[in-house]
Structure 1
């Protein structure tokens, strides 16, 4: 049987290694495609750790949640969503899950950018549809996904975008490239709460990549300072960088129009989201991350690399 090279996770929590596995074979309703580029996303590592709710039950397995592929007719496409085996030279796909790439699109840039941009794109389409002129707070804006949420929100019509995070240098960069105000998360909770109250009290949507203690502080400060408590505020939980849990005072829900929801795998119907629009935006550079290409043979070393701000490691099989 013919074989291909793939990344293989044999133990949860350990980096995968390059290995030879049987080449996939086409079957009715499925086709074999050549993989051109795969981003090493946080969710990819999370699933491979065995602690993510989408982690497989059995080992070994090939990781990878999305990627750019070349189909049999030579066209390039993005695949994602239902795939968890893209870190290989060739994979078996359902053609209905492909999104064609615009002519001239760079596969590495698309592989680096779509997954980080997808979080805010989906949240603002499916969890709390953004209307023109609404204001958005990005809590955890200094990470890759949070930073991309700024141009995504602008593209979808946000009138004001506020960013919050710990990296002051990154916050300044976001102010220079589209954000209207910045809130630094400091070790002084009173000062930080005062900044949330001053800058975000009347925000319409919160895209929350942090959760944990920062969310508790920000939520209380914003709701308490809100001038019109009956005006809805949609708080969308996307990531748990600062912790998996929060202590939510029920009084905040009773005394305001605070609506808390989540956005992630399994919470939305991607068929109702304008994914071609996302692909077009990434391909045009409107919201894109700089790729850092590495060969599949170096997957073990690439797995532990810490990407710089605005960068994403992309595996090239």
Structure 2
């Protein structure tokens, strides 16, 4: 028998149960799970209110995880469709995953850190480089720099050759962390900001920027457009600051600006594996990190409630 976090009622946290080990089918890789993060997508799916519809219960949550192949012990990262389609996810002692959703990791990979980075760092890397077309020497503005995507983006932009990175965040602690992670300036987002006032503060430290990484939308996105150089790009991958933004036609047209949308769902399996490989290599070499809390798997119910309530210090990772 293996331990598993089982969610029986949508909107409530999972709890530990004992289950039979999964049996691999053709094309699946048996994996001993080492760690699994509790991500916003896990919480959304388990709420029963996601755009995927209410999941069939009971099920084991967890859309991603890290572990070791059962046959040779080699470390891997893996993805699942738990909560989006019928089937169990990563929050169990062992899983069987289709080989196309398994990515080899470096032998010395820091597994809990890679679990914390995971698809959030993949999104930051792919949005910057694949969608945003970041090239060496460009100036990058990262909105929402306090979140996992934003933290990763600050570092990955520099690692990809950005000459300068400017960070924006509401929290003073997040701004201080962004500076430690490589941002040249960290600009506060204030409660009464409108697009004009925030743009003025940004312009004072950034000048014109080439690329905006935007996981927040709303007023910050509208302000960021005003400091883009002609032909500059804004890549949006979230809406935590607002589902709509007060954009004005004159700003877009006068600068021939580009607004691009990004989602991990748009990546091919190969593209996802490529970005995950870049993330894993940087993390293993000590060049990439993110704030996270590692908690014992047996504490999954309390950890889930903290993450859902916004009381966690960063990404929560369940360790076996």
Cα deviation for residue 290 of structure 1 reads: 5.1
Write the deviation string for residues 264-317 of structure 1: whole angstroms up to 9, x where unpaired.
Answer: 232233523443222111122211235532222221101122332xx4321123
Matched residue of 1:148: which SS?
helix
Return the alpha-carbon distance in structure 1 between the equivalents of residues 250 and 269 of structure 2.
Answer: 34
In structure 2, the gaps of 5 or more residues are 84-88
- Check 1:207–1:51 CA distance in 2 against 1; reply closer, same or farther (3 A cut): farther
- Check 1:268–1:252 CA distance in 2 against 1; reply closer, same or farther (3 A cut): farther
- 2:94 corresponds to 1:90: yes
Residue of structure 2 equivalent to 1:240: 239
Return the alpha-carbon distance in structure 2 between the equivalents of residues 278 and 56 of structure 1.
Answer: 32
* Contact 1:126–1:268, Cα closer than 8 Å, also in 2: no
Return the alpha-carbon distance in structure 2 between the equivalents of residues 4 and 177 of structure 1.
Answer: 39
Residue of structure 2 equivalent to 1:36: 34
- Check 1:54–1:256 CA distance in 2 against 1; reply closer, same or farther (3 A cut): farther
Cα deviation for residue 166 of structure 1 reads: 0.9
User: What is the TM-score normalised by the length of structure 1?
Assistant: 0.87
Cα deviation for residue 247 of structure 1 reads: 4.0
Residue of structure 2 equivalent to 1:197: 203
5 Å matches for 1:233-272?
233-272=232-271
Q: Which residue of the other structure, out of 215, 219, 222, is the alignment partner of 2:227?
A: 222
Residue of structure 2 equivalent to 1:50: 48
Residue of structure 1 equivalent to 2:86: none
5 Å matches for 1:82-161?
85-161=89-165
Residue of structure 1 equivalent to 2:62: 64
- Check 1:202–1:183 CA distance in 2 against 1; reply closer, same or farther (3 A cut): same
Residue of structure 2 equivalent to 1:313: 316
Return the alpha-carbon distance in structure 2 between the equivalents of residues 248 and 269 of structure 1.
Answer: 31
* Contact 2:110–2:283, Cα closer than 8 Å, also in 1: no
Q: Which moved more, 1:23-32 or 1:184-193?
A: 184-193
Return the alpha-carbon distance in structure 2 between the equivalents of residues 136 and 117 of structure 1.
Answer: 16
Return the alpha-carbon distance in structure 1 between the equivalents of residues 53 and 246 of structure 2.
Answer: 26
How many residues matched?
A: 306
Whose relative contact order is higher, 1 or 2, with alpha carbons under 8 Å and at least 6 apart? 1
- Check 1:290–1:165 CA distance in 2 against 1; reply closer, same or farther (3 A cut): closer
Residue of structure 2 equivalent to 1:302: 303
In structure 1, the gaps of 5 or more residues are none
Return the alpha-carbon distance in structure 1 between the equivalents of residues 46 and 206 of structure 2.
Answer: 36
User: What is the TM-score normalised by the length of structure 2?
Assistant: 0.86
